[in-house]
Structure formats: structure tokens, C-alpha cells
């Protein structure tokens, strides 16, 4: 099942390995990068383009956790689990820095479903969510373990 900008509510019954979900887009700019970094990741290469030129990043780059937070915002809308997105954990890598001007979208794929041994109404659903920019390159590779529930009467 391929779902674009899905709005319906998904129960565990509706989710299968291989299902794909595509998010809307988010346009990033320097002001957003600096605002997030000022609050949560105040390092020169996330705060000031001139300072960033002399750094490993060679120019202003978003905090990796800012990319994760934007990805989460896009997932809330594109991966509509009926009980919400409840994360048990995640693995994340940032193959490239996210930059001012990037237009991000997220493509998610269900890669594993592990039913709970003790609670038959639920499972851990593993979703791999790739955050792409407008150049087709991957800025973030996130695999999250999410709790999903069956319909009450299923």
C-alpha cells in the first residue's frame, strides 16, 4: 500500500511490511536553523554562517536534532497511526548536513512488525524514514520503533 499525505487512522490491522508513506514538504531557512540551535544546540556552526565557514561544515548547517524534529512533524501528518506515534526508540544517521534553503520531505517504509508476547493487542512496528532534500539526496536516515494497537473489536 502506498499512501500520499495520508489522513486516515491506521490500526495494527491496517499495517503491513512494505507499506510506504510520503509526507508533505517543509522548507527550511537560516532563521529556523538559528532559532532551533539557540534553544537546543548552541554551537557556532548552527548559529552563524560566518563562524560556520571556518568549521567542519563550511557553512551554516542545521542541528541534526532539528532535522529529526522536522522529520517528526512530517511523520505526524504522513504516518497516521490511530493511537498516535509512540516511539520506543530509534536509530538515526545524518549522511549530509541539512542547509538553509533545503526543502525536505520524508519517505517512510514499514520494515518489521513484532507482535508483543505478553499483550496480544499491540506490536512494535519498525518504520524506516528517509528525509530527502530537493536535490534528491538523503539528509537523514531514521529507523523508529513505534507502538501500534489493534482495533478494539478486532
Q: Name the residues that contact a copy of itself, by CB under 8 A.
A: 36, 39-45, 55-57, 63-65, 68-70, 72-73, 76, 83-94, 147
- Residue 95 or 115: which CB sits closer to a copy of itself? 95
DSSP 104-126: EEEEEEEEEEEE-SS-TTEEEEE
- Residue 61 or 110: which CB sits closer to a copy of itself? 61
CA dist., res. 122 & res. 71, Å (int): 24
- Residue 93 or 137: which CB sits closer to a copy of itself? 93
- Cβ at position 82, least distance to a copy of itself in Å: 11
Q: Which residue has the cell 510520503?
A: 22
Cell of 41: 544546540
**Contact between 124 and 116 (Cβ < 8 Å):** yes
**Contact between 148 and 125 (Cβ < 8 Å):** yes
- Cβ at position 101, least distance to a copy of itself in Å: 20
- Residue 2 or 86: which CB sits closer to a copy of itself? 86
**Contact between 6 and 127 (Cβ < 8 Å):** no
What DSSP element (H or E) covers 68?
Answer: helix 64-78
- Cβ at position 69, least distance to a copy of itself in Å: 4
- Residue 14 or 141: which CB sits closer to a copy of itself? 141
- Cβ at position 153, least distance to a copy of itself in Å: 18
- Cβ at position 104, least distance to a copy of itself in Å: 13
Amino acid at each position: 500500500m502506498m499512501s500520499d499525505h495520508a489522513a486516515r487512522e491506521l490500526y495494527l490491522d491496517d499495517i503491513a511490511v512494505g507499506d510506504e508513506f510520503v509526507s508533505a514538504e517543509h522548507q527550511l531557512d537560516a532563521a529556523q536553523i538559528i532559532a532551533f540551535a539557540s534553544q537546543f544546540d548552541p554551537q557556532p556552526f548552527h548559529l552563524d554562517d560566518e563562524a560556520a565557514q571556518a568549521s567542519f561544515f563550511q557553512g551554516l548547517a542545521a542541528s541534526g536534532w532539528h532535522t529529526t524534529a522536522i522529520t517528526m512533524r512530517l511523520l505526524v501528518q504522513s504516518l497516521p497511526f490511530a493511537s498516535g506515534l509512540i516511539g520506543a526508540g530509534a536509530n538515526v544517521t545524518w549522511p549530509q548536513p541539512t542547509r538553509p534553503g533545503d526543502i525536505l520531505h520524508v519517505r517512510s517504509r514499514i520494515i518489521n512488525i513484532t507482535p508483543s508476547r505478553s499483550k496480544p493487542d499491540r506490536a512494535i512496528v519498525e518504520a524506516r524514514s528517509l528525509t530527502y532534500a530537493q536535490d534528491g539526496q538523503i539528509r537523514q536516515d531514521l529507523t523508529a520503533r513505534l507502538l501500534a494497537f489493534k482495533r478494539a473489536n478486532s
